[in-house]
Amino acid sequence: MPRRIKTNPNAQRDDLLLEIARRQFHLETLETRNWDRLDFHDVAVWALRAALEEAFEAGRGAGHADTELRTAS
């Protein structure tokens, strides 16, 4: 019997969020590292806005693609 590989249903979302964080804030990870200088960052409001807009558009695009898949079936 083949072994089942556990997959994280949120992995694709998490990868996208990390990609946005890397691009907008130059962060290495979104994991908690329990070290203030690694876990807290000063962020310009325009960079925060850009990251939120990028995440919003990614969500809108994913929702649109999901709707298209359901209507095509």
Burial of 24 (C-beta count, 10 Å sphere; 0-12/13-18/19+):
buried
Whether residue 63 is contained in a domain is answered as yes
The answer, yes or no, to whether residue 68 has pLDDT greater than 70, is: no
Q: What is the pTM of this model?
A: 0.71
Whether residue 55 is contained in a domain is answered as yes
Whether residue 5 is contained in a domain is answered as no
Whether residue 2 is contained in a domain is answered as no
Q: Using one digit for the tens of pLDDT, what is the confidence trace for 8-34?
A: 879 999 999 999 999 999 999 999 999
With pLDDT > 90 as the criterion, what percentage of the chain qualifies?
68
pLDDT of residue 71: 62
How many domains are there within the chain? 1
Q: Which one, of 46, 49, 55, 65, lies nearest residue 16 by Cα?
A: 55
Domain that holds residue 35: 11-72
Whether residue 1 is contained in a domain is answered as no
pLDDT of residue 34: 97
Whether residue 15 is contained in a domain is answered as yes
